[in-house]
Structure 1
């Protein structure tokens, strides 16, 4: 299934099929003024990477695979831990350190909803390393037409 971010235009697609078929670390599927939808695929033994978004809430849903989510008030205080699998949702409040680790033998497929938007519209990162480089260089900023805190 091919997904094209149409910006703040009306859109509809089969998110479960798109998520399960996605093989990239992160693909931005839709960017609105106030929220954003991304598809993610995390290889076995890898993770989304420990991170915090100070002003962004996140909703994640697992559509395939098995993992473990860790969250907490600091990078060295991840007191919330939960095993997750197909059908589970994860809610990450703004300012919460979090990571999702693939504990299974197959890719962990999930989608994330960010509010407000967090990534460049239509951005595709094949790997975590590619995403990290792009973010550090400033190449993955939300569009100017989005509403940011």
Structure 2
């Protein structure tokens, strides 16, 4: 990835090209005071991972590949089920259980905007396992300049 997260300073880059060229599971491209942009690459047959962010809204956009979006109020009640592809957007309200599975025959490339900031600035996680280890070890905490909810509830993972 050629983009460097410079924190809450002004930034500009070719988002579509950067998203399509990203080969990492997750790479934080920009971290502001109130929101964050990450690039993601999900291998064929794999998924983002079923989760819910109680205090975080998300916007996701696919720039390559095909996916299956599932969302709902509980991890065992994913009543929103849609197929998406290049150009589609997905909005995830805070507290909603969600997952996107790559159902295509190429890596699914997407970007996501978190509000508030959710990951460590500039963090690059080549695989989903790396992301899980970083979260468990506390090495994926939002930067000190970001504004976080007063009483943040922890994320939930299935």
Q: What interval of TM-score do these two structures reach, taking the shorter chain for normalisation?
A: over 0.9
CA apart distance, 1:74: 0.6
Compute the displacement of 1:118 (Å): 0.1
Whole-Å Cα distance in 2 between the matches of residues 97 and 136 of structure 1? Answer: 20
**2:154 maps to what in 1?**
none
Query: Does residue 56 of the first structure (1) align with residue 77 of the second (2)?
Result: no
Alpha-carbon distance in 1 for matches of 2:116, 2:103 = 29
Could you list the structure 1 runs, at least 4 aligned residues long, displaced by more than 3 angstroms after superposition. none
- What is the rounded CA distance, in whole Å, between the counterparts of 1:110 and 1:55 in structure 2? 22
Q: Matched residue of 2:16: which SS? A: helix
Within 5 Å, which residues of 2 pair with 1:1-149?
Answer: 2-149=2-149
TM-score by length of structure 2 reads: 0.93
Cα offset for 1:137? 1.1
Gaps of 5+ in 2: 150-158
Please report how far the alpha carbon of residue 144 of structure 1 lies from its aligned counterpart in structure 2 after TM superposition.
1.1
How far apart, in 2, do the equivalents of 1:43 and 1:61 lie? 16
Shift of residue 135 of structure 1?
A: 0.4
Q: 1:80-111, CA deviations, whole angstroms, 9 ceiling, x for partnerless residues?
A: 01100000000000000000000011000000
Q: Which runs of 5+ in 1 are unaligned?
A: none
Q: Is 22-31 or 132-141 further displaced after alignment?
A: 132-141
* Aligned-residue RMSD, C-alpha: 0.6
Residue correspondences, number: 149
SS class of match (1:30): strand
Give 1:145 shift: 1.0
Q: Secondary structure at the match of 2:67?
A: strand
